[in-house]
Chains A and B, each alone.
Chain A
Amino acid sequence: MSTDTVLAEIKNLRTYFYLAEGVVRAVDGVDLVIKSGRTLGVVGESGCGKSITALSLMQLVPSPGRIEGGEITYYRTIHKTASSTTADAINITRLKPDSREMRSIRGNQISMVFQEPMAAMLPVRTVGAQIMEAIMLHQQVSKEEARKRAIEILSRVKLPNADRIVDTYPFQLSGGMRQRAVIAMALSCNPNLLIADEPTTALDVTTEAQILDLMRELQREFDMAIMYITHNLGVIAEMADEVAVMYMGKVVEQTDVTSIFRKPLHPYTQALLRSIPQLDDVMARAAGQKKRLETIKGMVPDPYSVLKGCSFHPRCPQYIEGVCNQITPEVIEVDPNHIVRCHLYASHAAQAQTNKDATP
């Protein structure tokens, strides 16, 4: 089945920033798998490395950052028939950021939508010109043809009067319209993978809902995978098939979207879920009961520090002295397709190990 074909695989990715104050390990050993046509949600607080993981995938890590290790494999479709798909594995980490090969992937096979629609387009060039550019670059078509395709893609993101919008300047559009135009720009070359880095954070709730609907619709239409980055668990519930929770440059828990809400394992995931405002609590407060929104105690530690043991231990409610602050937790597969990095589930690891030992 095509839905289970691996499109991109990130293995032990490490992206570090070398600053005067020290080294920031923005991404420190991330493993992720993106499947064709599916949506992978990546959640975490600001600064947990989710955006940098996405930028690493496109070889767009800003200076002074550098991909320090690990592998990103992208399976580029070369031949597709009804029964089988032939793919060509490309090791993105080995490509130079400005190389021809990397550029032929960027915007063509993998494209990206950013957080701030107001800043994503240059104000002095028309929306059309900025969309046509990518089409002309990757599909070698004439200017007239590119313009035709730009109008078509603008109407597919449900912008009214696409033939007029193509000649407007970005600042003449509203935030929601602009984000649609930015999505149109990202989809203009029919990518296999769309990375959406908090595309609705800057929009109001109604517009957010419309954009999310639109993205789901376009995903079916274009049959593309989406890597959806957000700090909003509500959006994750709406959008994702699989969810990866990140904390300080590491994936701490990864599973399907149902399990993450039904059976969160990592104390950090549990805490995140508890800190979502619930309508029930609001009602309870209105009825005079004392109920406060839970927060995660403490702050995300200073990014320059390298904590011994689990990086969540200073904030963890289930912290075990002598273990969590000493030993770095390994990835444990608690259930099939449900992994976690936490010492609380060490017995599962031991179990898995005995099973494995017993098998032969």
Chain B
Amino acid sequence: MLGYIFQRIVRAVPQLLLISVLAFIIIQLPPGDIVTLQIQRLRNSGVEVDEVQAQALIRQYGMDKPMYQRYFLWITNIITKFDFGYSFTFEKPVTEVIMERMGYTFAIALFAHIFTWTVAIPIGVYVAVKQYSITDYIVTFITFIGLAVPAFFLAMIIMYVALTKFDIRAGGLFSQEYLVLPWSWGKFLDLLSHLWLPIILLGTGGVAGTIRTMRAMMLDELRKQYVTVARAKGLSEFQVIVRYPSRLAINPILSGVMWLLPWLFSGGLMVEIVLNLQTAGPALYSSLRNQDMYMAGAYILITGFLTAISAILSDVLLAVSDPRIRFGGVEGA
């Protein structure tokens, strides 16, 4: 088992290197660069920038060096000093901006997924067991609507209803009064009272899909002979369902853990913008719009890194749940 985990981590290293190269290329792609943009800004604000100063800036950012050298400079700083460069839009080091947001991003992604699983897995199992029953049809109907309605639209409706009917300002992560205050018990409770909406909204997006996956997997497994064998042992129907087909039907959900983190960067973006959350997605979006290259590069790199980590996590979970994968790995090695 440990060997298997080690093997997975070793395999992730070249993957991560490739991701870093791609991330760097992507942030260099847009026309113009950060130095010209900076000079433009200074000139716009009325500061005279002469050739000498411009050259100094170019040297300062290493723009005079060839691309591969700039890449090595960038990646070395990241690995050795955990320094992702400077964000021009936020006017502070990229590392600081990210750290501020990463905790919330992670918490929301995790809780949204937990919400999805606790709601969707039992329902998926239930409708598979009761295939073609009225409940199955109702759930199927609702899940298809759920798949079709974009989460940001749902977010807007809920915010509108909350504000007009209940006079609650839904959105953001903190109330106005706590926004600048240091951490306290009150601020924590305030965070919790704001967190439920994004968690439910982002979680709901996954519920419909997970129900469909779980239902389809269960229908496959329920037909297998081991289910009849388990019944023939005298187990109750509930025990049979929980201990046998569900154990195998859960596998695609475990592989889905892989998308836990990267999903929030892209999948939840619109909801986060609508709800005005201080999470990673909207920051990445604004950095891309403003050609804030170090910020964008950091996000692409971190997203890639987290994807790789999630992939390892989901493989390990699968190996724990399914011995065939575990032993397959050992035998293959």
Q: Which residues of A contact B (CB under 8 A)?
A: 55, 58, 60, 62, 98, 103-108, 111-112, 114-116, 119-125, 133-134, 137-138, 169, 171-172, 182, 185-186
Contact = CB atoms under 8 A, between A and B. Distances in A.
A76 to B, nearest CB: 14
Given A120-B225, A122-B248, A169 B234 contact: no
A135 to B, nearest CB: 10
B233 A119 contact: no
A119 B247 contact: no
B324 A124 contact: yes
Nearest to A169: B323
A301 to B, nearest CB: 26
Contact of B235 (A105, A124, A133): A133
A108 B233 CA distance: 7
B236 interface: yes
- Sorting the interface of chain B by its residue count into under 10, 10 to 19, 20 to 34 or 35 or more gives 20 to 34
B234 A62 contact: no
B188 interface: no
B232 A112 contact: yes
A343 B103 CA distance: 84
B145 interface: no
A119 B234 contact: no
B235 A137 contact: yes
Sorted nearest first, the 5 A-B pairs with minimum C-beta distance are A107-B234, A107-B233, A119-B225, A106-B234, A134-B233
Which interface residue of B322, B323, B324, B327 has the most chain A CB atoms within 10 A? Answer: B323
Given A111-B232, A171-B323, 18 more contacts: A55-B228, A98-B236, A103-B234, A106-B233, A107-B233, A111-B233, A112-B232, A120-B225, A121-B229, A122-B243, A123-B323, A123-B324, A124-B322, A125-B243, A133-B243, A137-B234, A169-B327, A186-B232
A133 B322 contact: no
A133 B228 contact: no
A298 to B, nearest CB: 31
B42 to A, nearest CB: 64
Interface in B304-325: 321-324
B226 A120 contact: yes
B321 A124 contact: yes
A112 B247 CA distance: 23
B231 interface: yes
A185 B225 contact: no
A106 B248 CA distance: 24
5 contacts: A103-B234, A112-B232, A120-B229, A133-B243, A185-B229
Contacts of A115: 225
A60 B323 contact: no
A137 B233 CA distance: 9
Given A121-B226, A121-B229, A122-B226, A171 B237 contact: no
Contact of B247 (A60, A124, A172, A182): A124
Contacts of A107: 232-235
Contacts of A114: 225, 228-229
B247 A125 contact: yes
A105 B234 contact: yes
Contacts of B224: 119
A125 B327 CA distance: 13
Nearest to A55: B228
B117 interface: no
Contacts of B115: none
A99 B84 CA distance: 65
B244 interface: yes
Given A122-B248, A125-B247, A60 B232 contact: yes
Interface in B214-264: 224-226, 228-237, 243-244, 247-248
A196 to B, nearest CB: 12
A138 B247 CA distance: 23
Contacts of B247: 122, 124-125
A55 B233 CA distance: 13
A171 B324 contact: yes
Contacts of A120: 225-226, 229
